[in-house]
């Protein structure tokens, strides 16, 4: 067994996750959004999910999710300005995830020089630990 074997295994797992991510979405038009297939990840237990590109009118709900998470001491205090700046001024992609037309999460990504940064992956506390984070990662990888 060479020293590279663990890295080859990890690369294989990442490749499989990427293939699963590409097959996760029913609608591949990221500008319009689409339905998320929670069955692509066996651990996702949230029904009736969809996603779409963030709109300025989503700011209030996204900020409420931010505050709900911040109140659990998960996000450092005084980061709200940075979050709002990202929501409204970034050149990257921003998405909202909805359950029955109610925003329950937001996430995004941004190109910085030669790499892509995953930025924010905020899930309302009521929907955490249900596999939605994996779907949000897949959404960003599929882009």
H helices within 33-109, ranges in order? 59-70, 80-89
Counting other chains too, the contacts that 84-88 makes at CB distance below 8 Å and 24 or more residues apart are: 84/59, 86/119, 86/120, 87/54, 87/59, 87/62, 87/63, 88/56, 88/59
Write out pLDDT tens, residues 124-139: 999 998 888 888 888 8
Mean pLDDT of 91-106: 93
Mean pLDDT of 66-85: 83
For residues 78 and 71, the answer to whether their CB atoms sit within 8 Å is no
pLDDT at 88 over 50: yes
pTM: 0.71
pLDDT of residue 80: 87
More confident site: 70 or 77 = 70
Instruction: Give 65's pLDDT tier (boundaries 50, 70, 90).
Output: very high
Dihedral pair phi/psi, residue 46, rounded to 5°: -105, 115
């Amino acid at each position: 067994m060479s020293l590279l074997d663990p890295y080859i295994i990890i690369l294989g797992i990442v490749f499989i996750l990427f293939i699963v991510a590409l097959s996760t979405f029913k609608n591949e038009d990221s500008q319009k959004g689409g339905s998320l297939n929670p069955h692509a990840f066996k651990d996702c237990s949230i029904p009736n999910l969809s996603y779409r590109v963030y709109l300025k009118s989503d700011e209030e709900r996204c900020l409420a999710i931010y505050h709900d998470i911040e109140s659990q001491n998960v996000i450092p205090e005084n980061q709200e300005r940075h979050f709002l700046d990202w929501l409204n001024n970034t050149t990257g992609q921003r998405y909202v995830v909805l359950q029955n037309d109610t925003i329950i999460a937001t996430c995004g990504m941004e190109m910085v020089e030669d790499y892509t940064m995953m930025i924010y992956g905020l899930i309302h506390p009521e929907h955490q630990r249900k596999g939605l984070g994996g779907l949000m990662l897949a959404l960003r990888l599929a882009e």
